[in-house]
A and B are shown apart, each in its own frame.
Chain A
């Protein structure tokens, strides 16, 4: 499969005291037809990375190839074939949807008609409306329509659904899926694990400017060793010795144990094997169970296992 994006040993340092390494040796390969997600907390370097790939920022060093071309050599050719949705763009409120799309269409040699672009993002009835009158979700869909107007082979989307209500998010996911169904490539950044899981063929988990894991959501979750998670907590201060993760790691079907804020999370392969064993163990240790849930493992668990932090936590690196 030919690659839409190849990026090797990407570095980006912002001057400062001390200098900030926003991207720190990042590798990435995205095949044609893939929907690829950069998943990571705020400040992980996702936006810097995507803006370097979009040709809006210059890397400190490293190699980038977009659709087999390089920035600085074939800028116009690349720009003609990619579509971009930035994290936040305030399109002119006084223009109508049609006028905005006609303006963007005029920049591209080839592309689709504004009418088709609005159809792709289901904004047909808003064609004559002023941008200022659109809702947040509609504005975001218009931004995507502007990205689609040049009929791109490759679509970049930086945090496409941040700040949107659940219904608007689902609408955007549908738009992205139907774009992918045309055999086109999508690279998106997100800090929503559910978005990455549902939308992306593959994701790269990014932290502190590096990819710390790469693969399909399924593969990454499987790398935890267990696809199910048992979360439970015990009543504290009943005089018994404290329960530690080591007390639990030898249980059958348990692949990993972590404890956070009094909640124990066991990654298990077979809940029906692990659960009775866990209850037995707790009884032996005279621990009183106060809460117990089982769920499927998510990318959030992958991230927490890899970094010890949550995706939505404020990160100190920015």
Chain B
């Protein structure tokens, strides 16, 4: 009875991993924790309340009454210094001032760079004008449009998926390989007739095995908790996830190919991951960076993966419209893998 070495090597990796509870938490629990926290932080507030302070003065009473008549306002009357302090610290969005100089009207004190203050100014002005007798020329009807796909959480989940695929590839392959080198297990394997391709195959296959629950758990959680859906084809998304995982496993193998200590490999992994964490648009669109940097940012594998995942998951795009991203991923993956194989040190 002799089983296949590649199966045994894969099994050994899976067993080692699932018998290490901390590792299981970091790989599977962490992305979910992140999705929960960010989902809560950026949740939609159903009715936007507007906080307005009315400064004590001649017609403060008029303004307060007019604003209190409209439901969405939280109104407060305070003296000048308190109002300014509350505005500065963001506790109120707008201060209504009624001075002698302003005649029958009001002064609005606010920061025009704050979007919530700009909104408050508009709403407050409308309310006060109407109370003073302004007639609207027509009645507008508000119709709600609220569909999954356009929310922050819909944007975030493909980003988190990409981040988790990158981290999993680098840690899952890089860290484990260096650990085996330190324990001289690589050397011990080298002393057997084991084929090197079997070893590397085992590392890659076990990585893909870890990936499936990782991705599925995050997607199911996002679907149940936030109603996040995949608008494009599931097969396209699966293809991208698989390709991305192979690419970052290549990176993992490359950072691990020579490192002799855990510190060295951790440093290398951070060198690889940090720029992509910041540039590749996990939490916000990478288009916020200057135009000149865009071609470079688009060449990063994580940008390619996340952009393509967003296109498929949110816009429902087909995989064939994402050729450039697929090519970027494939080139990075094969290059890192080949270099890693060439310079890999077994002992």
Write the residues of chain A forming the contact surface with B, with a CB cutoff of 8 angstroms. 54-56, 76, 79-80, 84, 86, 88-92, 94-95, 99, 102-109, 111, 113, 146, 150
Chain B residues within 8 Å of A146, by CB: 188
CB-based nearest B residue for A93: B16
Interface pair B347/A56, CB less than 8 Å apart: yes
Contact A107 B193 (CB under 8 A): yes
Q: Which residues in A have their C-beta under 8 angstroms from that of B187?
A: 56, 86, 89
Q: Which residues of B contact A76 (CB under 8 A)?
A: 193
Q: Which of B1, B2, B5, B185 contacts A90 (CB 8 A)?
A: B185
Least Cβ–Cβ distance between B140 and chain A, in angstroms: 66
Q: Is B15 a contact partner of A94 (Cβ separation < 8 A)?
A: yes
> Are B12 and A103 closer than 8 Å at their CB atoms?
yes
Knowing A92-B16, A106-B3 are in contact, say whether A86-B191 is a contact too (CB < 8 A).
Answer: yes
Would you call B183 and A104 a contact (CB within 8 A)?
Answer: no
What chain B residues lie within 8 Å of A111 (beta carbons)?
2
Nearest 8 CB-CB pairs, A to B? Answer: A90-B183, A79-B193, A106-B8, A94-B19, A107-B194, A84-B191, A106-B5, A107-B192
Considering the complex, give the chain B residue whose CB is closest to the CB of A57. B347
Query: What 0/1 readout, one digit per residue, does chain B (237-279) give for beta carbons within 8 Å of chain A?
Result: 0000000000000000000000000000000000000000000
Q: Are A95 and B193 in contact (CB under 8 A)?
A: no
Does the CB pair A94–B20 fall under 8 Å? yes
Residues of B within 8 A of A94 (CB): 15-16, 19-20
Collect the chain A residues with CB atoms within 8 Å of residue B193's CB: 76, 79-80, 107-109, 150
Of chain B, the residue at the smallest CB distance from A149 is B192
- B9 at the A interface (CB under 8 A): yes
Specify which chain B residues have a CB less than 8 angstroms from the CB of A106 in the assembled complex.
Answer: 2-5, 7-9
B22 CB to nearest A CB, Å: 12
Are the C-beta atoms of B8 and A56 separated by less than 8 Å? Answer: no
How distant is B15 from chain A, measured CB to nearest CB, in Å? Answer: 6
Is there an interface contact between B192 and A108, defined as CB atoms closer than 8 Å?
Answer: yes
Q: List 24 contacting pairs A-B, 8 Å CB cutoff, sorted by A.
A: A54-B191, A55-B191, A76-B193, A86-B187, A86-B188, A86-B191, A89-B183, A90-B183, A90-B185, A91-B183, A92-B185, A94-B16, A94-B19, A94-B20, A95-B16, A99-B12, A102-B8, A103-B11, A104-B192, A106-B5, A106-B9, A107-B5, A108-B2, A108-B192
Closest to B20 in A: A94
Report the bound CA distance from A54 to B193 in whole Å. 12
Which residues of chain B have C-beta atoms less than 8 A from A84's C-beta? 188, 191-192
CA distance A173 to B12 in the complex (A): 30
B209 lies within 8 A of chain A by Cβ: no
Contacts of A103 in B (CB 8 A): 8-9, 11-12
Chain B proximity of A56: nearest CB distance (Å) = 6
Task: Establish whether residues A92 and B12, one from each chain, have CB atoms under 8 Å apart when the complex forms.
Answer: yes
CB < 8 Å neighbour of A113 from B1, B9, B189, B347? B1
A79 in complex: contacting residue of B15, B188, B191, CB < 8 Å: B191
Q: Are A99 and B15 in contact (CB under 8 A)?
A: yes
Q: How far is the CA of A188 from the CA of B191 in the complex (A)?
A: 16
Task: Give Cα A54 to B189, complex, Å.
Answer: 12
What residues of A have a CB within 8 angstroms of the CB of B20 in the complex? 94
Measured between beta carbons, the chain A residues less than 8 angstroms from B184 are 86, 88-90
